[in-house]
Structure 1
Amino acid sequence: MDPDTEVNNIVTRSGGGEDEKWERPPSSYGSMKSDTDEDEEKAEEEGEEAHAVLPESPPEAQTRIQMIRSASPETLYTVTTQQTKPAEAMVIDTSSLDLGDAPEVDDDDEEEEFYITNSPEPPEPIEMEDLTQSEDSQPGRRHPEQDLPHLFKSIQSVLTELSDEELKNFRMTFYHGERKMTLPVVMEGDLLDFVDRIIEVLGQERSLIHTMETLKKMDKKEHAQKLKDQCQRALIGFYMKRHIIRKFQVIHEGIVEAGKQTFLNGIYVEPQISTRGYGGLDPSHELRPHPPTPVQVPTPDTFMALNDLFRQKRDDGSPVRMVVTTGIPGVGMSFSVAKFTLDWAEECANRDIQLIIKISFKSLWHLRSKDNPTEKKSFFDVIEYYYPDLVDKLKILEEPDFKILIVMDSFDCYQTSLDWENAPELSDCSKPEHPDVLIVNIIRGTLLRGARVWVLGRPAAVSQIPSKFVDVVTEIQGFSNEMRDEYLSKRFSSAELAADIVRHYKRVPMLHILSRHPFICWIVAKLFSRAYRYLGYGTNPPRLTPFLINTLIVVINRRKQFYYDAAEYDLKWSKEDRQLVTNMGKMAFKMLERNTSVFFEEDIKEVGLQLTEVAVFSGLCTELSNESSGPRRRFSFMHFTFQEFMAALFVFIMFHIESKNVLDSGSFGLRKVLKSKIMGKSAAGLVECALARTLSSQVCQYDMFLRYLCGLLSPACHSDLFKGYLYPHNYPKVEGLADVQRVLEQAIQNAPGDKVENLKECLREMIQTDT
């Protein structure tokens, strides 16, 4: 029974009196009408405006009575499609069968605004955010074929092809397969009501998929295929959004604790992102106003929001196609990718992007070297391998108006160089090629020409991409002061614990500076939350050395997992790992002696290491901008104080494992009496040599170095933290710490005034027992 026949029967049964008004508000989905309404639409083409002035000669009366569904929940769609009475408008009800009762319009009242209730169908529904947004703003407009009206009409049009008996069977089958629906909701009302209700209750994705499944159960495979073809864009978007939400909604940090889940949206704090890439170093230091080698830092006017990366424009005004994002190790690139894609999947931003496909370079590297390094695969093969549910939907990716974003993170994991100039050009996504060639053509833009590409990786890795392929380079800078506190506060359900941690970590200026890096901030949260379980913790300021030791251990362990596929239970440091740490410490010590914070490729080779191993895989260094040094590549540790720590660690390793005092060069004027009594291989002699360098330096060159060296002598650091990594568990502890304490106390009494405070910190780093 069509809607008008049903309405006429109701009017006939009720007597059809003129005083009785039968109203049915517009459907939740506006102008999405059954096919039986097509004839009526032709007569109403002039009346689609919700606000209209009655014509001088009213047209022939038309029945527009609709059933009221008071039990239907009010949703976003009903809010945006219901007609609203404008200010001071005269209300004219046209729901009666005769419009002759409408008041006449006097000539004097020509400018008076009339409002007609229950007038012809309202305009297409629009989403609330789009009312005030331009095309380039967030969250963006969806493609029409992925929006609600298209999906609604597609379901309705396919079901209209069923006979009355088939439609009845469809409703029953639909009901039995979906327990969220009640029998009255499914069986009552016309077809438009049915589609309206299932979308309100089940949502767009479940309504579409369950409709296709039900049609297949009824052996209506042609109808199911027709619906699938009409909603191909929506289906591919639904699948990818569901996949992304499942993968990134809950994050895993460090060792996963049973029964505990960390939601990304609950802890994420967006770092500062700059459109100027200088290397991402923070020049701040507790004791030195400027680093030994000046570094450039971006100004706040270059900062931008994460979700605006692809809202930028080229010089000619066209949208950017290729964006490269980089940053120092631990700055949060992986989290930024997760947040960007999750916001898209949850339709919070970038809704104009129809599909986001994330393929990490680590996955491509495994695919390349898994069985046969020379094996060829097409781009569609790669997508099918990682997203098997997209197997029969990939051809739509080549549609010219299909707006797709390919996210390729961890460029540093692709452990081979690419031939950017000689790689063959490839435009066919189904043609097999070597993975190297696929990558080059994706970045070139010859493969999936309409796709936008986002590549992320460490500076020393992404620097090999030719600049002619890159539209914008962005660099994640880390947290501001306010962001650090916000991050630490959001991590804990206890406001009191969060306040204690925020207050506590600020007591050591260098720790506050280092916490600009999100990774260090995470270390702070982990260590402090554990430490505050002990009664009385928080009386003493925190020590800095344990934080840097924990950071080093986690970085080296992640390196083994990320680049060398080590299992979580197999993170024992190998001889090569210990040699890497020792040699990088040696390089840091030589840099400290030269009073520089920048090193070059020849410095890496001098200590027997490879450029990629240090600049990319180690996770301790970054590449700086070479604007001032021409073609010569410059590198630095992730922060200058980390260089000071690595230098101190090298000196400690040589003393404790190799039994060598590399500070005993005889060039710092040690008194002969002290030499004869304590020099040798004692810890006191080592500290005495470090003190001589510290007190003789005019630029605070060795001050933090001495503090870290004293901290490493503490058994809580070198024994409890480094056992099992730098040396076996049964390795002996450093002896003679009482003599070291006396040397430091004597130095505090005799040192110049500007050195006293740091020497007290050196002593505290060594003798304090808590973190």
Structure 2
Amino acid sequence: MASNAEEERFSDDEEERKKRQRPPSSYGSMKSDSDEMKEDGSETAEDVLQESQCDQEVAGVFNRPAPVLPRGEEVGVQLNRPASPETLYSRTTMQTKPPGALVLETGSDIECCSEEEDEDEVLITNSPEPPEPIELEDEMQMDDHGQPGKMHPEQDLPHVFKTIQKALTDLNKEDLYKFKLNFNLRQSSDLSLKQMFDGDLLDFVDRIIEMFGLEQSLSCTIATLENITKHEEAALLRANCKKALIRFSLMTQFIRDCQFVFEAIPEAGKRARLDDIYIEPEICLCACGGVDSSHEFRSPLQAPIQSPPPGSAVSLVNMFRQQKPDGRPVRTVVTTGLPGIGMSIAVSKYCYDWAEQRANRDFQYVITLPFSSLWNLRDRNPPDEMSMMDVIEYIHSLCKSKTYLDDDECKYLLVMDSFDCYRTPLDWKNTPIINDSHVPAKLDDLIVNLIRGTLLPNAQVWILGRPAAVSQIPSQYVDAFTEIHGFNQEMRDEYMRKHFKPELGNRVVQRYKQLPTLRILTRQPFICWMVDEIFAYNYKKYRDYGQEPPKVTPFYVNTLVVQTNRRLEYYYDQPPMCYNWSKDDQKMLIGLAKMALKMLEQNTFEFSEEDVKHHGLDVRDVTVLSGFCTELPRASSGKRRFSFIHSTFQEFMAALYVFTLFREESKNALEQSKGTWFTSRQQPVKTSAGLVQSAIDLTFASPRGHYDMFLRFLCGLISIENNRTIGGNLYERLPFKDQALYSPEVKELLRKTIQTCPADRKENLEECLREMTQFYN
């Protein structure tokens, strides 16, 4: 009977304790800073400690485990929250084991104590003197890529939690009631009144952070305090969480701007999620020029192109994990690549991953300073002198504080994209030194000092731009030089399959591999997108599509048009989709095409600044802004050298010059003695068949592969479809009846030549014929 009475007494005590039990908080180790909000009859920390010790004594008497609180049965609202770092820390450090003591875990199932244990053994649950804090090596300190990513203490969850809790603790009961009602009006769709008023203040802060996140909870708390006229409390909360608010504003901007992207040409209603379409290209720690030396006919040894050495690859997230020879982290990293290689989308991916806290969380801030925005700021009339902090605030209006970057322990990144958009050269020798980020100066001087490292020396700087633009930066100011090399074969296939259902994606991949030139060209993500879109469209439109290999000329024609339109938009401020090719634009393209033909005749793939000037062209316009050329690593003599983005594009431009001269002036640029450039002595040519016959003769008289692609492009340019694309841009569009006069006689010429040509030339002539006869790409 005595035993039954004891068991009933134990059961009653347990039920009573359950009723008083407060719902556990994810941040339970955070103690309230005020006693004003305690309700009558609430438990204190000493009550809980005494009750826990009593439970253990009862467990020891009856030789049974300490009572375990059933999860989910407490009084109040129980939220399923993951254990926070603070809770884990409390469980680890709130217990010690003095010599000869047995520690009982009262919050978990424990095996029954043995009856043979010494009666003198000391039983304790909490140590009066906690041990030294230990740093837990848990997954909270690592990002998605296994990198150390611990956030700054003033921006992390514990600081924001305690600051919000302290601001609300200072309110009296009436103001707190008004605050909760007002907060509920702002978030009525997600938070009910019952959830708002259940539990104590810690429960409330815990709940709103869990439901809305740090950023929204903090901003709504400040706005609500302002709304109930608690301006001092709101200002104090804003000041104490200044760094977190600036970080949140930058993250919000990146998520808004980078979550969805337009591929290639922006088109209303057609955008994709960045995570759904992004494939990280190959990035190498070297400057090779980025030009692929492979060719459908020519040997790669004929092209003066270097290849990246093995082991030089670096991932995007590790861009600033590199180290200098002295072991310190790099400060300034320059990244370059061909036009359309994916530099801008790589910046978007880097910033978006930081905003989503997937990578590089140890950066307190990632601040973008695109050179296009800097140029617009400089180009104001009249230009104003500004401090570096004024420039940052101009581009990021929410970053109002002037001192948040001055802390020596502040680690942040400045991303400066599109260096080629800054149209004026920088004076690296005579620019005065500026050390203070709050001193007004000319924008050119601020940029030079920022790259030098004299201005904002704690910042890490990432500069991106086309090779001919970033080559002006002195090498002593660059810690690491990286180059984006585009997609390898596996990346191209993955990119194309991600856009469509598996069946259609596999058909697109299989089709583009039918043509060696397209396999080479799709190394550039921009061309890969173009191939993807055209093939998928045709597969959906034509039932019999895919039986014949694709044509190649339309892809080069579209590259010419799109890159020229981009040049007009990015560098000459023409509104999108309203492009107008001026006489100067046409003259530049024709001059560039003429230079390409001369290079083809001389069997060279590179040209110099003198070659550009010889054809009456502007060096910067050709090598930086055109989108068709790139700068190669300098020779031992230090002389600058350039090339087209690929040798096949050089051959296409040469064919474009020959065709345009025939179309506009009825002249044949190929009727000349070898080694003598075009002069006025050329004889007029009356038919397109005569022009193609000259190209065929030149091809047969040259080594195999030297003019084969040139001939293929020339035949493709004569076809009606490609004339429609270029017509109206490079030259006036002809009536349809006149366009049709070009191709019939050329087709007949090709058919006759195929029957009598050498065997090793037959395959390319059949490709030339298909460029003119095949209806779709």
Whether the 8 Å contact between 1:656 and 1:734 is mirrored in structure 2 is no
Do the aligned partners of 2:143 and 2:359 also contact (CA within 8 Å) in 1? Answer: no
Specify which of 555, 567, 588 is matched with residue 563 of structure 2.
555
2:170 alignment partner AA: E
CA distance in 2, matches of 1:41, 1:125: 25
Cα-to-partner distance string for 1:191-250 (whole Å, 9 max, x where unaligned): 111111111111111111111122222222222122112111110011010011111111
Q: Residue 556 of structure 2 aligns to which amino acid in structure 1?
A: L
- Residue in structure 2 matched with residue 155 of structure 1 by the alignment: 164
Native 8 Å contact 1:92 1:117 kept in 2: no
Counterpart of 2:717 (choices 706, 712, 715) is 712
SS of residue matched to 1:142: coil
**TM-score (norm. length: structure 1):** 0.86
1:526 matched to 2:530? The reply is: no
| Alignment partner of 1:745 is 2:759 | no
Choose the corresponding residue for 1:687, options 689, 692, 695. Answer: 692
1: distance between equivalents of 2:271 and 2:208? 32
Match of 1:10 in 2: none
- Distance verdict in 2 for CA 1:24–1:91, change over 3 Å: farther
Aligned match of 2:680: none
State the match for 1:290 in structure 2. 300
The aligned counterpart of 2:382 is 372
Which aligned pairs between 1:311-710 and structure 2 lie closer than 5 A?
311-373=321-383, 375-391=384-400, 393-492=401-500, 494-535=501-542, 536-626=544-634, 628-665=635-672, 680-710=685-715
Mapped to 2, the partners of 1:633 and 1:247 lie a distance apart of 37
Q: Secondary structure at the match of 2:560?
A: helix
Change (3 A) 1:421 1:537: same
Instruction: Quote how far apart the aligned CAs of 1:513 are.
Output: 0.8
The answer (yes or no) to whether the contact 2:369–2:414 under 8 Å persists in 1 is yes
Q: Is the 8 A contact 1:583 1:608 kept in 2?
A: yes
Give, as a single letter, the amino acid of the residue that structure 2 aligns with 1:709.
Answer: L
Deviation at 1:43, TM superposition (A): 13
Q: Is the 8 A contact 2:262 2:270 kept in 1?
A: no
Deviations 1:533-588 (A, max 9, x none): 32232222110001100010000010000100011243121111111111111111
* Structure 2 contact 497–506 (Cα < 8 Å) conserved: yes
1:453 partner SS: strand
Which residue number corresponds to residue 29 of structure 1? 27
**CA shift at 1:523, angstroms?**
1.2
Q: State the 1:431 CA deviation.
A: 1.7
8 Å CA contact retained: 2:143, 2:357: no
Tell me the residue number matched to 1:92: 104
User: How far apart, CA to CA, are the structure 2 residues paired with 1:104 and 1:315?
Assistant: 65
Alignment CA distance shift 1:702-1:400 (3 Å): same
User: Which one of the candidate residues 3, 13, 17 is aligned to 2:13?
Assistant: 17
Q: Deviations over 1:158-193 (max 9, x none)?
A: 222223333333323322332121112111211111
Return the letter of the residue paired with 2:408. Answer: P
Instruction: Pick closer, same or farther for the CA change 1:715–1:109 going to 2, 3 Å.
Output: farther
Q: Is the 8 A contact 2:287 2:633 kept in 1?
A: yes
Q: Contact 2:142–2:150 (CA<8 Å) still a contact in 1?
A: no
Q: 1:274, 1:477 within 8 Å by CA — same for their partners in 2?
A: yes
In structure 2, the CA distance between the partners of 1:71 and 1:301, relative to structure 1 (3 Å rule), is farther
Q: Does the aligned pair in 2 maintain the 1:44–1:120 contact within 8 Å?
A: no
For 1:508 and 1:156, how far apart are their aligned partners in 2? Answer: 65
| Residue 27 of structure 1, CA deviation | 2.4
CA distance in 1, matches of 2:75, 2:459: 44
Distance between the aligned counterparts of 1:659 and 1:567, measured in 2?
35
Q: What's 2:79 paired with?
A: 73
TM-score (norm: length of structure 2): 0.85
8 Å CA contact retained: 1:172, 1:187: no
2:252 aligns with 242
Alpha-carbon shift at residue 745 of structure 1 (Å): 2.4
What does residue 222 of structure 2 align with? 212
Counterpart contact for 1:32–1:153, Cα < 8 Å: yes
* Distance (whole Å) between structure 1 residues aligned to residue 423 and residue 481 of structure 2: 22
C-alpha RMSD of the superposition: 3.7
SS class of match (2:300):
coil
Taking the aligned partners of 1:300 and 1:80, their CA distance within structure 2 comes to: 45
* Preserved CA contact (<8 Å) 1:31 1:121: no
CA contact (8 A) 2:607 2:643 kept: yes
Unpaired runs of 5+ residues, structure 2, are 1-8, 37-42, 50-55, 61-67, 96-101, 676-682
Instruction: Pick from 189, 196, 203 the counterpart of residue 199 of structure 2.
Output: 189
Q: Secondary structure at the match of 1:303?
A: coil
Further displaced range: 640-649 or 725-734: 725-734
* 8 Å CA contact retained: 1:237, 1:355: yes
> Is the aligned partner of 1:724 residue 2:728?
yes
2:291 corresponds to 1:281: yes
Q: Which SS does the other structure have where 1:301 is aligned?
A: coil
State whether residues 648 and 709 of structure 1, in contact with CA within 8 Å, keep that contact through their aligned partners in structure 2: yes
Q: Is the 1:80–1:125 Cα contact (8 Å) retained in structure 2?
A: no
Shift in alpha-carbon separation, 1:761–1:217, aligned structure 2, 3 A: same
How far the C-alpha of 1:496 sits from its partner, in A, is 2.4
Provide closer, same or farther for how the CA distance between residues 736 and 197 of structure 1 changes in structure 2, counting only shifts above 3 A. Answer: closer
The answer to whether 1:225 aligns with 2:235 is yes
Structure 1 counterpart of 2:104, one-letter code: I
Equivalent residues, number: 720
- Partner residue in 2 for 1:303: 313
How far did 1:404 drift? Answer: 1.4
Measure how far apart 1:124 and its partner are.
9.7
CA deviations over 1:718-771 (Å, ceiling 9, x no partner): 2x2112112223354263533322332233233222222111111111222212
Q: Percent identity?
A: 47
Shift of 1:252: 2.2
* 1:263 aligned onto 2:273: yes
CA contact (8 A) 1:365 1:415 kept: yes
In structure 2, distance between residues paired with 1:501 and 1:348: 32
Secondary structure in 1 aligned to 2:283?
strand
Provide structure 1 residue ranges, at least 5 long, that are not aligned to the other structure.
1-12, 46-51, 57-63, 669-677
* Cα distance change on mapping 1:648 and 1:157 into 2, 3 Å: same
Residue deviations 1:489-519, cap 9 Å, x none?
A: 1123x33222221111111110111000011
CA distance in 2, matches of 1:75, 1:432: 50
Secondary structure of 1:529's counterpart equals helix
What secondary structure is seen at the aligned counterpart in 1 of 2:643? strand
Rounded to whole Å, the distance in 2 between the matches of 1:554 and 1:168 is 60
Distance 1:713 1:333 in 2: 35
> What are the superposed Cα offsets for residues 355-379 of structure 1, whole Å, 9 maximum, x if unpaired?
1111111111111112124x21222
Deviates more, 1:17-26 or 1:655-664: 17-26
Deviations along 1:286-306, one digit per CA (max 9) or x if unpaired, are 111215332101134111111
Contact 1:30–1:124 (CA<8 Å) still a contact in 2? Answer: no
Compared with structure 1, are the counterparts of its residues 18 and 738 closer, same or farther at alpha carbon in structure 2 (3 Å cutoff)?
closer
Q: Secondary structure at the residue paired with 1:324?
A: strand
Contact 2:662 2:685 in 1 (8 A): no
CA distance in 1, matches of 2:605, 2:598: 10
After superposition, the Cα gap between the structure-2 partners of 1:281 and 1:257, relative to the gap in structure 1 and judged at 3 Å, is: closer
